[in-house]
Amino acid sequence: MNWKRSIHLVEDVILGLDIGSSAVKIVALKKDDAGYSVTAVGMREIAASEDDYNQHGINTVKAIRECFEQAGIKTKMAVCGVSGPEVAVRDFEFPPLSREDIEAAVLLEASQVCPFNAADSAVGYHLIPNGDDKTRGVLVAAMNTLITSKMQLAKEARLNCILMDVDGLALLNCFNGLANGHEKPETNRTVAILNVGGTHTTLAIMDNDGWPFIRDMTYAGNDIVAQIATENDTSKETVRGILSGDSVADEAGLSDSLEKSCRKLIADVGETLRYYTAQSSSSNVEKLFVCGGFALAGGFVELLNRRLGVEAVLWNPFDKIRCGGNRRFEDIYAKTGPAMAVAAGLAMRSI
């Protein structure tokens, strides 16, 4: 399924801006007949703000500007994404409807299925023809406050957010965009992508017929780090250093703590996979592509592979994206590519 919508502008280099809770990622891509190539990438950590919301916003804007300068990108137009409990992606099925009646039906459906007030949300939809006379598709809803917050951060960093996407759909777009025109080893298999960030974990699944399934979970990397730190009576910074390989520690002890701290995440993902299988007529998920900042934690993907009952592999989308010959960029996405999957997917929106 292609979720792209074209806006006819002169710009041909697209900036994907992923504003996370602990880091900012920027990816600029260019597409030609041979596929996608990287024109610039950047990543900056957001300085800790001791739970001060206003200071966190200031630190985030600073990180965006530094990331933008690091990447050396000239365009000011950006595509941003949203995720979390204030975002909902749901499929719908109506009797045959005219184009004029579909929007009203979608808004009514959103008011019934969204776990928040749809009246205070932006709602969009995409029709998916199924070879019959029914009106089928997928609706997306996101709280206006969340969208406004992301757009304001970009504006304060002197960028123009011209499109807002959903992180889960950006992940699926990225995976499909890199498969198109290349060998497709996952053909006829249901594809699942697990993006584990600091505050949210996103599970995105695409079945054989192109129907997306997106679920955002609130237990994520920050919770795992905090639990490990508490159990080992150490600081979160120390735990992050150990998991990233920057510090040396008792590997056996940390491995035990990591497994205990990941139990809830593994249970949440396993339950979601079982729910999907029960609700979907598609084949079972056999392979899980893991990305996001916490996917780089030592031993994490291996733990998922052992405990989930599904083959879990680390996914770096830049393995299939041509580099522009800039070794500085190569070093960034070779080491942190899995953390930049959402930004790459956002950059694949057609502008």
Q: pLDDT for 275-295, tens place per residue?
A: 998 887 767 888 999 999 999
Select from 65, 63, 80, 66 the least CA-distant residue to 16.
Answer: 80
pLDDT computed for residue 301 by the predictor? 96
d(CA 67, CA 45): 9
Q: Which residues of the chain have pLDDT under 50?
A: 1-11, 181-185
In the sheet that holds 121-127, the strands lie side by side as: 87-94, 135-143, 121-127
Tally the C-alpha atoms within 13 A of residue 307's C-alpha that lie toward its C-beta: 19
d(CA 310, CA 300): 14
pLDDT computed for residue 284 by the predictor? 81
- Type and span of the H or E element at 156: helix 144-156
pLDDT computed for residue 334 by the predictor? 85
pLDDT computed for residue 331 by the predictor? 82
Beta bridge partners of 140: 89, 124
Which pTM does this prediction carry? 0.90
Select from 208, 222, 166, 204 the least CA-distant residue to 315.
Answer: 204
pLDDT computed for residue 34 by the predictor? 84
Cβ pair 46, 24 in contact under 8 A: yes
Considering the domain 14-231+255-347 in this protein, what is its CATH number?
3.30.420.40
pLDDT computed for residue 180 by the predictor? 60
pLDDT computed for residue 227 by the predictor? 95
The secondary structure of the chain in percent helix, strand, coil, rounded to multiples of 5, reads 40, 25, 30
Q: Is 42 left (phi over 0), alpha (psi -120 to 50) or beta?
A: beta
